[in-house]
Amino acid sequence: MTATVIDGRAVAKEINAVTATQTAALTSQGVIPGLAVIMVGDDPASAIYVRNKERRAGKLQFNSVVKRLPETATQVEVLDLVRHYNQDPAIHGILVQSPLPAHLNEEEVVMTIAPQKDVDGLHPKNLGQLFANVGHQYPVACTPKGIMTLLDRYDVPLAGKQVVMVGRSRLVGKPLVALMNNADATVTLAHRHTHHLAELTKTADVLVVAVGQANLITADMVKPGATVIDVGMNRLADGTLTGDVAAEVANVAGAITPVPGGVGPMTIATLMQQTVQLAAWQTGKQVQ
């Protein structure tokens, strides 16, 4: 058995097309979606992500602002910049690229972003609403939201299914647990320190892995026919990219995301999609 490849690039292309239409609709009403990305330092992976976001925002004709600060930027400088964009009506979404240099307090930076402009969905207010499954019109972390879109497009059932999430980051693992719970799945959260991990992952109808450890999940750890979502992006010594899931898992799984080309494109597409949503919510405009 060879797993169905869950093509994130194809689905992201569809989402980007809808986002372009919505952007045009907002622009015709006098609102240009505004996205501000703040990057501190010159982390190579972050630089690639920011450049990809900038390129996509440009293609969508957003009001795209990328502010690059030196590695030596102070906490006050970063917070002042966030507060500036909080007050700027032309900016609807603010993203501070992670990781920040070690001398900066990332928690304080996230807390300073206005919740309604927190396009990455990391502010405790937004996370709280997500976990409580209450209210509406609040941003959700882009990678988990993109994963849920992929599962929906590929008709992967979640209600009543066993989901195992390996990885407990605030960016992926924790919000995805909430989204899966809200979709009526039975969810188990595991991580690097979980004992007998293989026994747990083999129970999963849907297995999501976001640890950052190359080839952590092997074929003997996966339930035959399971849907496997690989969020990992690891560069090997020879320069090639690989995920947290070994290639051999494709011979056991029913469906699987490739690395690259799976979750990655969905994260950026969802970021753009959510920026448009924030612009509409903040201005009271309607988009289809």
Which one of 22, 97, 274, 282 is the catalytic residue? 97
Instruction: Find the helix or strand (DSSP H, E) in which 58 lies.
Output: helix 44-59
Which one of 120, 205, 230, 244 is the catalytic residue? 120
Spatial distance between the Cα atoms of 78 and 89, rounded to a whole number of angstroms:
19
120 annotated active-site: yes
| β-pair partners for 32 | none
53 annotated active-site: yes
Beta strand pairing call for 234-235 and 241-242: antiparallel
Spatial distance between the Cα atoms of 127 and 125, rounded to a whole number of angstroms:
6
Tell whether 167 is in a known binding site: yes
Tell whether 264 is in a known binding site: no
| Contact assessment for residue 163 and residue 208, using Cβ atoms and an 8 Å cutoff | yes
Tell whether 169 is in a known binding site: yes
Spatial distance between the Cα atoms of 267 and 269, rounded to a whole number of angstroms:
6
Spatial distance between the Cα atoms of 55 and 130, rounded to a whole number of angstroms:
30
From residue 83, how far is each of 79, 122, 133 by CA, in Å?
6, 16, 28
Which one of 22, 53, 118, 282 is the catalytic residue? 53
Cis-peptide, bond into residue 139, ω within 30° of zero:
no
Annotated binding site for NADP(+): 167-169
- Catalytic sites, residue numbers: 53, 97, 120
